[in-house]
Amino acid sequence: MSLIHKKRYLSANVVEMIVEAPDIAATRKAGQFVVIMTDERGERIPLTIVESDVAAGTVTIIFQIVGKTTTCLADMNPGDELYTVLGPLGRPTEIEKFGTTVCVGGGVGIGVAYPIAKALREAGNRVVSIIGARTKDILILEDALGAISDRLITATDDGSYGVKGFVSDVLQELIDSGERIDRVFAVGPVPMMKVVCDVTRPAGIPTVVSLNPIMVDATGMCGACRVAVGNETKLACVDGPEFDGHQVDFELLTTRLRMYYREEKEAMEQFRCHCDGK
């Protein structure tokens, strides 16, 4: 059992939670994730570890409310206990002194990009962060990213804040301006990561993406999270979740993410009808 210490809404449907997990807090590295079960009969969902506080024995997660389990999780409050928090899982981000790195985060992916940007900065890299959302209201973590980046550029699809356009447009402009970029890290919706890779490929900039396939056991046993990278099949839970974006088959990832759409919709409908919110 894991006690929830704090909860706050970062936007209408994105929640930040600080939960007790002292062993995970002490050992986790940037890029790793936990698997959470809200209750004994609940689904296991993977969520990135955004931050940890070793002294307090806590980890921070940020999640978007998209379906049954994230709705259940958002309904929980400080003082409630999660059934399990398992981790740290996945391979940590490969952090080196690359030079100038650009961290691109879209939507709730900004929360996943944050620990990567922070670790890159701590390793002595110059960090440019480009963060974007559909509108100003749902842009998260601007201050946190600003505090650990050498330069922060914000963008919104509708132009309600920052540059009008997509994060990939901002990255393209940066490349076109002649700025030297040694490595790009991109996290966000699959189409966004694909377009970022399309932008960096012709420029020859190595690009790492953090993939979010559906996971079941998250220990490499079930094969649910398999992704195609180059000519190989990889398991995102144990080989990833970060991969060379120029090698990822994004079409297959998109198809596999939609695989249980009907079941997910039914689960949410049943949850709305029969559940009291827990």
Ligand X SMILES: Cc1cc2nc3c(=O)[nH]c(=O)nc-3n(C[C@H](O)[C@H](O)[C@H](O)COP(=O)(O)OP(=O)(O)OC[C@H]3O[C@@H](n4cnc5c(N)ncnc54)[C@H](O)[C@@H]3O)c2cc1C
**Closest CB to ligand X among 46 and 105?**
46
66 binds, among ligand FES, ligand X, none (CB under 5 to 8 A by kind): ligand X
**Closest CB to ligand FES among 123 and 216?**
216
Q: What are the strands, taking DSSP E only, across 165-251?
A: 183-187, 207-210, 226-229, 232-235, 242-244
Query: Is residue 259 part of the contact set for ligand FES (CB under 6 A)?
Result: no
Binding mask 59-78 for ligand X (x = CB under 6 A): ---xxx-xxxxx--------
Query: Is residue 186 part of the contact set for ligand X (CB under 6 A)?
Result: no
Q: What are the strands, taking DSSP E only, across 50-139?
A: 51-53, 58-64, 81-82, 84-89, 100-106, 126-133
* Cα–Cα distance, 174 to 127 (Å, whole number): 13
Place of tokens 């990135």: 48
Query: Is residue 215 part of the contact set for ligand X (CB under 6 A)?
Result: yes
Q: Which two tokens stand for residue 113?
A: 């990009």
220 binds, among ligand FES, ligand X, none (CB under 5 to 8 A by kind): ligand FES
Please tell me the chain's helix, strand, coil percentages from 3-state DSSP, rounded to the nearest 5: 35, 30, 35
* Cα–Cα distance, 19 to 63 (Å, whole number): 13
Query: Is residue 99 part of the contact set for ligand FES (CB under 6 A)?
Result: no
Q: Which of residues 201-230 bind ligand FES (CB under 6 A)?
A: 215-218, 220-225
Q: Which stretches of the chain bind ligand FES, using CB under 6 A?
A: 215-218, 220-225, 235, 237
